Amino acid sequence: MRPFSARGSGGMATCGLLLALGAAPPSAAPGTPAAASTPAAASTPATAYGYTYTPAPSTGTPRIISVQLNSNTLHAGGPIDIRVTTTPDVTKVTSGNGKHKGTLTAAGDGVFIADSTLPKVGGLATVSIKIHIEATTADGKTVAVDVPVRYR
């Protein structure tokens, strides 16, 4: 696994996510997956986010506004790019699957990113999993979403 680029801090966000990749079966999650790409903000390097997951609308804070990935089908040994947009009061975002998780890097108010290479785990089958994203404010309030993806 290559270390995170300058856009990410510490490989744990992706490493934690991937140690348990095939372990969680999918379940219906509120939200709307979309295959459309959304341009990255000027403060972050250009990355092609081919999959945007938008959680069901909610009121109050904190909120996760969107989760963007390079694809909704992740490949063993391939890249993973994550961009999470939240309300500005969020100070920390983690991603993971199962008991393993890691922290994304803050790229601006309400924008958190990570990129890495997925480990070569699993077989030939494609499995459905959920990436658990959790956003936390300085005073400890949290909100979480589960983003459905496929892994092969």
Name the helix (H) or strand (E) containing 83.
strand 79-86
May I ask the CATH class of domain 12-151? mainly beta
Both tokens of 48, joined, read: 């092609």
pLDDT at site 99 = 75
Nearest to 128 by CA among 9, 23, 4, 51: 23
Question: Residue 61: CB partners within 8 Å, gap ≥ 6?
Answer: 87, 89, 137, 141
pLDDT < 70 stretches in the chain = 1-46
Q: Where along the chain do its domains lie?
A: 12-151
Nearest to 130 by CA among 52, 16, 22, 32: 22
φ, ψ of residue 145 to 5 degrees: the values are -135, 155
| Per-residue model confidence as pLDDT tens digits over 40-71 | 343 445 678 999 999 999 899 999 999 999 99
- Answering whether pTM is above 0.75, one says no
